[in-house]
Amino acid sequence: MRDHQEQEPATVATAVREGDGSPIVVVDDVHHSFGSGPQAVHALRGVSFEVRRGELTALRGRSGSGKTTLLNLVGGLDTPTGGRITLDGTDLADLDEPGLLALRRDRIGFVFQSFGLIPVLTAAENVGVPMRLRRVPARIREERARTLLALVGLADHAEQRPGELSGGQQQRVAVARALANDPDLIIADEPTGQLDSETGRSVMELLRAVVRSESVTILVATHDPNLIELADRVVELRDGRIVDTGA
Ligand X SMILES: Nc1ncnc2c1ncn2[C@@H]1O[C@H](COP(=O)(O)OP(=O)(O)O)[C@@H](O)[C@H]1O
Which residues bind to Mg ion, rule: CB under 5 A?
Answer: 67-68
Cβ–Cβ under 8 Å, residues 26 and 88? no
Mask 150-189, x = binds ligand X (CB under 6 A)? Answer: ----------------------------------------
The whole-angstrom separation of Cα 94 and Cα 31 is: 17
> Is residue 200 part of the contact set for ligand X (CB under 6 A)?
no
Task: Look at residue 34 and give the partner it binds from ligand X, Mg ion, none, a contact being a CB closer than 5 to 8 Å depending on partner kind.
Answer: ligand X
Q: Which stretch binds ligand X (CB under 6 A): 60-68, 116-124, 132-140, 211-219?
A: 60-68
CA quadruple 149, 22, 60, 97: dihedral sign: negative
User: 137-156 b/e with 16+ CB inside 10 Å = b?
Assistant: eeebbbbbbbbbbebbebee
* Residue 97 burial (CB count, 10 A): 8
- Of 34 and 79, the one with the shorter C-beta distance to ligand X is 34
**Nearest CA to 181 among 105, 241, 86, 67?**
105
Q: What's the min distance (Å) between Cβ of 13 and ligand X?
A: 30
Task: Look at residue 65 and give the partner it binds from ligand X, Mg ion, none, a contact being a CB closer than 5 to 8 Å depending on partner kind.
Answer: ligand X
> Is residue 27 part of the contact set for ligand X (CB under 6 A)?
no
- Looking at residue 194, the DSSP 8-state letter turns out to be T
Chain residues 65-84 in contact with ligand X, contact rule CB under 6 A:
65-69
- Of 46 and 193, the one with the shorter C-beta distance to Mg ion is 193
Q: What's the min distance (Å) between Cβ of 227 and ligand X?
A: 15
> Is residue 58 part of the contact set for ligand X (CB under 6 A)?
no
> Is residue 63 part of the contact set for ligand X (CB under 6 A)?
yes
Q: Which of 27, 56, 61, 154 binds ligand X (CB under 6 A)?
A: 61
Query: Cα–Cα distances in Å, from 228 out to 57, 141, 181, 246?
Result: 9, 34, 27, 12
Q: Which of 24, 27, 30, 43 binds ligand X (CB under 6 A)?
A: 43
Task: Look at residue 126 and give the partner it binds from ligand X, Mg ion, none, a contact being a CB closer than 5 to 8 Å depending on partner kind.
Answer: none
Count residues near ligand X (CB under 6 A): 11
The whole-angstrom separation of Cα 246 and Cα 43 is: 21
Query: In which order are the strands placed within the sheet that holds 217-222?
Result: 108-112, 185-189, 217-222, 56-60, 233-238, 241-244
* Residue 71 burial (CB count, 10 A): 21
Which residues lie near ligand X (CB under 6 A)? Answer: 34, 41, 43, 61, 63-69
